[in-house]
């Protein structure tokens, strides 16, 4: 199976298997994440209670942990979910929203990665750079600067034995052995809330359906890039809604042309 076939195979599994995606996420993004999951054929569940977390993980095909609004309660929910996922072998996608903005976020993400297995880490360029020990910048939870994202994803993937995806003008993905560039997308993504968090939901849904972390990361980034390009509208409100419509259509027709969007770097990042 060549790369485009592998990516489309993983993408098609979402509509076929309808994976249950347990979201431990932030209240700002949750409705959009749920709508997006439903559009591509996945089954989202948002259950913020720590008392339910263990049972939810046991029922789910995949867990998405998003630290966008880290309250004391949500942090305990995350810890319970991570422990149960480790015990049951349920794959986890981690979205370290705002890593570096506060000491609380740094401590929580570092604790997760040091104590529990994570299948995919997905963040923006600044978050991933800071996690990898590079120098980037954050204003609130948004990236304001970029160090070498190819180096950052490679270093972080090797350190934790996971797949790492960094989003930006060019997206980068690494499994610790190779670095891939994913091209495409729309600048309008910077004008809407929950766009980055929704990418995490895409990756989680594909991972839950396919079990292929590297392909899930790449396919999810390509899917959002294609959808955002096709959704271009005069303003961010209609753009945000149109992304859901485009992803719904793609769940039936496939990812489209892949070769021009994906490039394997000629050298390993160092």
Tell me whether residue 167 is annotated as binding: yes
Tell me whether residue 39 is annotated as binding: no
24-28, 129-133, 142-146, 241-245: segment of lowest average pLDDT = 142-146
Tell me whether residue 193 is annotated as binding: no
Bridge-based pairing of strands 62-66 and 20-24 is parallel
| Beta bridge partner(s), residue 65 | 24, 94
Question: How far is it between the farthest Cα atoms of the chain?
Answer: 48
CB 65 within 8 A of CB 23: no
Residue 266 has pLDDT above 80, yes or no: no
Res 135: pLDDT: 61
Res 270: pLDDT: 46
Tell me whether residue 194 is annotated as binding: yes
Residue 267 has pLDDT above 60, yes or no: no
Rounded distance between C-alpha atoms, residue 261 and residue 109, angstroms: 30
* pLDDT tens-digit series, residues 179-233: 999 999 999 898 899 999 999 999 999 999 999 999 999 999 999 999 999 998 7
Task: Return all residues near 169 (Cβ < 8 A) that are at least 6 apart.
Answer: none
Average pLDDT of span 58-84: 98
| Beta bridge partner(s), residue 124 | 167
Rounded distance between C-alpha atoms, residue 212 and residue 261, angstroms: 19
> Which parts of 116-212 fold into alpha helices (H)?
125-131, 149-160, 195-210
Phi then psi for 27, rounded to 5 degrees? -70, -20
What structural domains and CATH numbers belong to the chain? 3-256 (3.40.1190.20)
* pLDDT tens-digit series, residues 128-173: 999 998 765 555 544 444 468 999 999 999 999 999 999 999 999 9
CB atoms within 10 A of CB 155: 22
Q: Is the dihedral of CA 202, 206, 209, 211 positive or negative?
A: negative
By 3-state DSSP, what share of the chain in percent is helix, strand and coil, each rounded to 5? 55, 20, 30
Q: What is the mean pLDDT of the chain?
A: 92
Q: Which two structure tokens, joined as six digits, stand for 32?
A: 């959009």
């Amino acid at each position: 199976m060549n790369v485009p076939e592998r990516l489309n195979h993983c993408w098609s599994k979402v509509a076929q298997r309808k994976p249950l995606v347990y979201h431990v996420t932030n209240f700002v993004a949750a409705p959009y994440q749920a709508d997006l999951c439903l559009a591509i054929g996945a089954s989202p569940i948002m259950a913020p209670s720590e008392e339910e977390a263990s049972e939810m993980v046991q029922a789910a095909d995949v867990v998405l942990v998003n630290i966008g609004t880290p309250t004391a309660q949500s942090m305990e929910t995350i810890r319970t979910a991570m422990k149960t996922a480790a015990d049951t072998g349920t794959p986890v996608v981690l979205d370290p929203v705002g890593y570096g903005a506060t000491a609380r976020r740094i401590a929580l993400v570092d604790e997760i990665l040091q104590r529990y297995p994570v299948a995919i880490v997905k963040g923006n360029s600044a978050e991933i750079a800071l996690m990898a020990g590079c120098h980037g910048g954050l204003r609130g939870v948004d990236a304001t600067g970029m160090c070498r994202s190819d180096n950052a994803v490679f270093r972080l993937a090797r350190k934790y034995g996971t797949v790492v995806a960094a989003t930006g003008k060019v997206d980068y993905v690494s499994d610790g052995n190779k670095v891939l560039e994913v091209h495409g997308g729309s600048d309008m993504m910077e004008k809407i809330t929950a766009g980055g968090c929704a990418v995490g939901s895409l990756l989680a849904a594909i991972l839950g359906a396919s079990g292929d972390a590297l392909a899930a990361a790449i396919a999810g980034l390509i899917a959002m890039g294609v959808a955002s390009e096709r959704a271009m509208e005069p303003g961010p409100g209609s753009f945000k809604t149109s992304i859901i419509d485009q992803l719904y259509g793609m769940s039936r027709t496939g990812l489209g042309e892949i070769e021009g969007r994906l490039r394997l770097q000629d050298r390993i990042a160092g």
